[in-house]
Structures are given as C-alpha cells and as structure tokens.
Amino acid sequence: MKLNKPERLCSFTGTAAGSPLRLLKKCKLPSITGIGAATALLLLICLLVAPDSMAGQPSNNVALKTNLLYDATTTPNLGIEFGVGKKNTFQIFYGLNPWTFDSSKGERKAKHWMAMPELRWWTCSKFNGHFLGIHLMGGQFNASNAALTLPGIFFSGNDIAKDVRDTRCQGYFGGGGFTYGYQWILGRHWNLEAEIGVGYNHIWYDRYPCHTCGAKIASGESNYAGITKLGLSILYIF
C-alpha cells in the first residue's frame, strides 16, 4: 500500500524537510485599551483569511506549546496556535509568574502576567520551516530586588532598572514588534520552534519603599526598545 506524505511536510532544494495569560486586574489605563483594540484588529484579519483554512485541511491546524526559555525563568506559560489560511497562523501566549523568593537582601520577586497575540506568515507551509510575524504584548508586574537583564535599552523616561533594584515597582506594560522564527518537525505530532522578536514597550508604574508594604513614593514611566521575545518552544500539533 502506498502512503501519501503528510501535507505539512515540504522540502527545500538540497536539504531535507524537518532538519536540524488571563489573570486580569481591572485597569483603566489607556494602554490596555489600545492593546485590546490592536488585538481585535489582528483577530479581524484572521477572520477575513480564515475561509482559506477551512477547505480540506481539518488537521495540522491547531497546536499547543510552551516556551522552555520562559519556563526556565520560573514563569509557567502556555500558547495555542491555529491556522487561519494556507500560509498563516495566529497564536496567543500567556505567562504567569506568581513567585516570591528569599535572598540576602530580603524578598526578591518579578511577579507578572503577560499576554502576547501574534499573526504569522510561513514561507513554506504552516508549522514547518521559516516564518515571519507581528506581535502585540501587554501585562502587569510587581517586582522588587530584581535585576532587569533585558537585551535592549531603556530611554526617555525613568530609570526603571535602578528603581526595581532599590524599591518595589508595580504597574503595567504594553507594546509590540516583529518576529522571525523556524520550526523543525520532530514527529507526527511534535515540533520544535526557535524564535526571536524585536520591538517596543511602554511601561507605567508606581514605586513603593519596601518589598511588601508602604505608601507610594512616586509614579514613573519608561520606554524600552530591543528584544521583546526569545523562545525555544516544544509544540504538540493536533
């Protein structure tokens, strides 16, 4: 009996295919409204191209994933990605860090939740090979005695990197950027994905004198430009 190759496999000349979150607290900040509107726009785009994905492609259109690098920062995370066209997918990622740790300088924490929707275009076929994407992101944080080792620059605002070391900072962030990535097919249902994204975030926060209490010292804002996402994810494709 002759078996057809899976539809999601494709080959490149000279190479083999497959080679080497809501925990919401009510927020009245304009930023969240803007993020919601932009997310709705992405969803609308997905709905416009969705009919292409309904024709004869009932499988290989939905995947669950977790970013192992994000997990390594003690932040459990989960994403879902689904096809919205012959060469397009849409995903939403959610991460939640609820932990507080003891250190020689007192409590250390980088508590946060983050949601990140993304629309992707694939050069070969969905869930295989190179892809380009555009992502949005937004979330809430409560951090103290922590080092912000983000590979980018803070500019035109308060020095949040210093503030989060010396005081407790609590607030919101929102932004977006562009993504490049690649997926390797590991098996019938398993893929491995590597990705990097660059973009911009704006941060609003309040400062407090101690790690768990105290009256607000001041409010601040900061701008960040640089790497907005870095991932090495394992996927299960239905």
Distance CA 39, CA 232 (A): 24
3-state secondary structure 80-104: EEEECCCCEEEEEEEEEECCEEEEC
Interval 191-200 mean pLDDT? 98
Confidence of residue 171 (pLDDT cuts 50, 70, 90): very high
Candidate from 7-21, 35-49, 86-100, 161-175 with smallest mean pLDDT: 7-21
* Cβ–Cβ under 8 Å, residues 200 and 225: yes
Structural domain spans, the chain: 30-237
Confidence class for position 129, pLDDT limits 50, 70, 90: very high
Q: Beta partners for 170?
A: 142, 206
Tokens 């870095």, residue located: 230
Residue 84: predicted pLDDT: 93
Q: What is the DSSP string of 128-187?
A: BEEEEEEEEEEEEEEEES-----SEEEESS--HHHHHHHSEEEEEEEEEEEEEEEEEE-S
Using one digit for the tens of pLDDT, what is the confidence trace for 66-120? 999 999 999 999 999 999 988 999 999 999 999 988 776 677 889 999 999 999 9
